[in-house]
Structure 1
Amino acid sequence: MKRFVRLECLAGLGLGLLMLLGNPAAAAGVHQHGLADAAVVVEGHSLTVSFRAPLMDILGTEQPPVDAAARVRYADRLKQVSEPQLPAAAGCRLSHETRSGVAALFPESQQHDHEHEHHEHDHHADVEAEWTFQCQSPDKLTTVSLPFLAIFSSLTTEVVLLLPDGQGALRLTPGDTRISLE
Structure 2
Amino acid sequence: MTRLNNAVPFSGLAALLLVVSLSASAAGVHQHGLAQAAVVLEEQNLTVTFRAPLMDILGTTQPPGDAAARVRYAQRLAQITPPVPASRADCKVVSAVQTTVEQLFPEGHNHRHDHENHEAHEHDAHDDHHDEHQDVEAEWSFICQQPDGLNVLFLPFLNTFSSLTTEVVLLLPSGQNAQRLAPGNPRIPLE
Structure ID, larger Rg: 2
Task: Give the match for residue 158 of structure 1.
Answer: 167
Looking at structure 1, the residues matched to 18 and 108 of structure 2 have their Cα atoms a distance apart, in angstroms, of 31
Task: Give the match for residue 19 of structure 2.
Answer: 18
Kindly indicate whether the alpha-carbon contact (under 8 Å) linking 2:9 and 2:173 is maintained by their aligned counterparts in 1.
no
1:168 aligns with 2:189: no
Amino acid at match of 1:80: Q
Kindly indicate whether the alpha-carbon contact (under 8 Å) linking 1:81 and 1:148 is maintained by their aligned counterparts in 2.
yes
Q: What is the TM-score when the length of structure 1 is the normalising length?
A: 0.88
Structure 2: segments with no counterpart, 5+ residues? 117-126
Residues 177 and 125 of structure 1: is their aligned pair in 2 closer, same or farther, counting only changes over 3 Å?
same
Residues 13 and 170 of structure 1: is their aligned pair in 2 closer, same or farther, counting only changes over 3 Å?
farther
Q: State the Cα RMSD in Å.
A: 2.4
Looking at structure 2, the residues matched to 60 and 83 of structure 1 have their Cα atoms a distance apart, in angstroms, of 21
Looking at structure 1, the residues matched to 69 and 48 of structure 2 have their Cα atoms a distance apart, in angstroms, of 29
Residues 171 and 10 of structure 1: is their aligned pair in 2 closer, same or farther, counting only changes over 3 Å?
farther
Deviation at 1:27, TM superposition (A): 3.7
Looking at structure 1, the residues matched to 75 and 28 of structure 2 have their Cα atoms a distance apart, in angstroms, of 27
Structure 1: segments with no counterpart, 5+ residues? none
The aligned length equals 177
Looking at structure 2, the residues matched to 10 and 110 of structure 1 have their Cα atoms a distance apart, in angstroms, of 48
Task: Give the match for residue 137 of structure 1.
Answer: 146
Q: What is the TM-score when the length of structure 2 is the normalising length?
A: 0.84
Deviation at 1:106, TM superposition (A): 0.9
Looking at structure 2, the residues matched to 17 and 45 of structure 1 have their Cα atoms a distance apart, in angstroms, of 18
Residues 46 and 32 of structure 1: is their aligned pair in 2 closer, same or farther, counting only changes over 3 Å?
same
